[in-house]
């Protein structure tokens, strides 16, 4: 399992290095696709930025939901405890 994970990481690193090197060479050589490549790279970084903001917004919503659920659970326990105390005070 660990060996497979190491091979996958190695493949990702090699692929990233090849793509980075190839892109750098093309950008420095003033290819006819320079504008398109720069535009695509800008879109990639923009998508990463929006992804991070969306993860932040999702995290906030999850925390709000958890707080609401815990407060509802605690309210139910408090009501149950109060009802139990009232029943214990009643003399038959």
Q: Report the chain's terminal Cα–Cα distance, integer Å.
A: 68
Please tell me the predicted confidence (pLDDT) of residue 13: 95
The tens place of each residue's pLDDT in the chain, 92 residues long, gives: 778 889 999 999 999 999 999 888 888 888 888 889 899 989 988 888 888 888 888 888 888 888 877 776 666 665 556 556 555 665 54
Please tell me the predicted confidence (pLDDT) of residue 88: 60
Please tell me the predicted confidence (pLDDT) of residue 77: 60
DSSP state of 24: H
Handedness of CA 83, 84, 88, 89 (dihedral sign): negative
Helices 34-89 + 2-28 axis angle, to 10: 140
């Amino acid at each position: 399992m660990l060996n497979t994970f190491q091979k996958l990481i190695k493949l990702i690193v090699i692929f990233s290095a090849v793509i980075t090197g190839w892109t750098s060479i093309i950008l420095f050589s003033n290819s006819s696709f320079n504008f398109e490549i720069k535009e695509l790279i800008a879109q990639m970084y923009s998508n990463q930025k929006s992804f991070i903001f969306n993860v932040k917004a999702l995290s906030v919503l999850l925390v709000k939901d958890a707080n609401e659920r815990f407060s509802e659970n605690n309210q139910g326990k408090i009501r149950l405890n109060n009802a139990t105390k009232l029943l214990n005070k009643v003399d038959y």
